[in-house]
């Protein structure tokens, strides 16, 4: 398969750590260039991989088949619409947008233009997760719980303005809700309590009749456990830990995205899926604010 030429939008820590090196190393993708709101950051990142940086995003769109986004959610929601209308496939970060309105506009643009889309739910590209979900679905599950605890808000590369403002629910919430949704059936309702900048508790009701709970926090300190998810059913239990994920997640992600682009779409983690999760997050945020 001819490598898919992918333009990168963003030049921050995540673009530096994951997107740029994974897209550049191939063999399924080729880094075509970089655009960022800070031209000097785009030039520095692009220079390390011998690709051009661009002053305007429209110039980047002229040299690629697909676009990968590594920018804040509100920026992604705006610029991915531009890329979709230019006919480019989209590799999208979670959450899809900063709010439901932005997520809806982006999902509608994808639908209207027919471009392929796929989201970076990194847990999903591990063989351990695939095995966990396969087992969970065989259990006739009726319940589960998940925990994702970190100290990311206290500093480091992920203490970014949007995370410091919106907290755990918008950042790690999509990962956790997505896994519970996949294991127990589509989420039909949510009840939320706590504080986005402290501890968030979610009670999720699934279309299957199953019920699950999630605990989310990015303000903890000290020695912290790995993210975990447990599912319980009539035929047993299934568990997944962040320690089980192994290496090669992002190589599998880029291979999967390239296949999605060549097939013209159809991936289960597309923008429509991101929009459905955004509905749950929006409802939970509204409850926390009240």
Residue 63 sits in the same domain as residue 140: no
Question: What total number of domains does the chain contain?
Answer: 2
The answer to the question of residue 280 being in a domain is no
pTM, whole model, 2 decimals?
0.97
Residue 118 sits in the same domain as residue 200: no
99-116 tens-digit pLDDT: 999 999 999 999 999 999
CATH of the domain at 112: 3.40.50.720
CA 237 vs CA 37, 132, 183, 230: distances in Å: 47, 10, 11, 7
The answer to the question of residue 279 being in a domain is no
Residue 30 sits in the same domain as residue 79: yes
> With 90 as the cut, is the pLDDT of residue 87 above it?
yes
- Whole-angstrom Cα distance, residue 90 to residue 87? 9
The answer to the question of residue 96 being in a domain is yes
Mean pLDDT of the chain, nearest integer: 97
Residue 240 sits in the same domain as residue 163: yes
Burial class of residue 27 in the structure, from the number of CB atoms within 10 Å of its CB (0-12 exposed, 13-18 middle, 19+ buried):
exposed
Q: What is the pLDDT of residue 1?
A: 77
Residue 219 sits in the same domain as residue 156: yes
The answer to the question of residue 221 being in a domain is yes
Q: How far, in whole angstroms, is CA 11 from its chain's centroid?
A: 17
Q: Which domain holds residue 153?
A: 127-245
The answer to the question of residue 144 being in a domain is yes
Residue 160 sits in the same domain as residue 16: no
CATH of the domain at 145: 3.30.360.10
21-71 tens-digit pLDDT: 999 999 999 999 999 999 999 999 999 999 999 999 999 999 999 999 999
Residue 144 sits in the same domain as residue 237: yes
Residue 143 sits in the same domain as residue 231: yes
Q: Is the dihedral of CA 172, 128, 66, 54 positive or negative?
A: positive
Q: Are β-strands 228-233 and 236-241 bridged in parallel, bridged antiparallel, or unpaired?
A: antiparallel
Residue 141 sits in the same domain as residue 237: yes
The answer to the question of residue 14 being in a domain is yes
The answer to the question of residue 158 being in a domain is yes
Residue 101 sits in the same domain as residue 136: no
Residue 131 sits in the same domain as residue 82: no
137-195 tens-digit pLDDT: 999 999 999 999 999 999 999 999 999 999 999 999 999 999 999 999 999 999 999 99
Residue 102 sits in the same domain as residue 138: no
The answer to the question of residue 289 being in a domain is no
């Amino acid at each position: 398969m001819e490598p898919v030429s992918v333009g990168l939008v963003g030049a921050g820590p995540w673009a530096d750590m994951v997107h740029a090196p994974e897209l550049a190393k191939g063999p399924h993708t080729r880094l075509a260039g970089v655009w960022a709101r800070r031209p000097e950051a785009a030039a520095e990142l692009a220079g390390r991989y011998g690709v051009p940086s661009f002053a305007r995003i429209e110039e980047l769109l002229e040299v690629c088949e697909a676009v990968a986004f590594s920018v804040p959610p509100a920026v992604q929601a705006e610029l991915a619409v531009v890329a979709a209308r230019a006919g480019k496939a989209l590799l999208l970060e979670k959450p899809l947008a900063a709010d439901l309105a932005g997520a809806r506009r982006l999902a509608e643009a994808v639908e209207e233009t027919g471009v392929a889309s796929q989201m970076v739910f990194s847990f999903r590209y591990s063989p351990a997760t695939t095995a966990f979900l396969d087992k969970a679905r065989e259990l006739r599950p009726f319940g589960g719980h998940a925990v994702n605890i970190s100290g990311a808000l206290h500093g480091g590369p992920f203490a970014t303005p949007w995370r410091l403002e919106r907290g755990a629910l918008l950042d790690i919430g999509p990962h956790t809700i997505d896994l519970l949704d996949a294991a127990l059936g589509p989420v039909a309702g949510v009840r939320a309590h706590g504080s986005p900048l402290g501890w968030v508790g979610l009670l999720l009701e699934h279309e299957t009749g199953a019920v699950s709970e999630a605990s989310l926090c990015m303000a903890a300190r000290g020695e912290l456990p790995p993210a975990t998810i447990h599912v319980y059913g009539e035929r047993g239990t299934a568990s997944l830990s962040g320690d089980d994920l192994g290496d090669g997640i992002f190589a599998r992600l880029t291979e999967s995205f390239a296949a999605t682009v060549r097939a013209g779409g159809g991936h289960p983690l597309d923008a429509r899926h991101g929009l459905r999760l955004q509905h749950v997050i929006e409802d939970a945020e509204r409850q926390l604010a009240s």
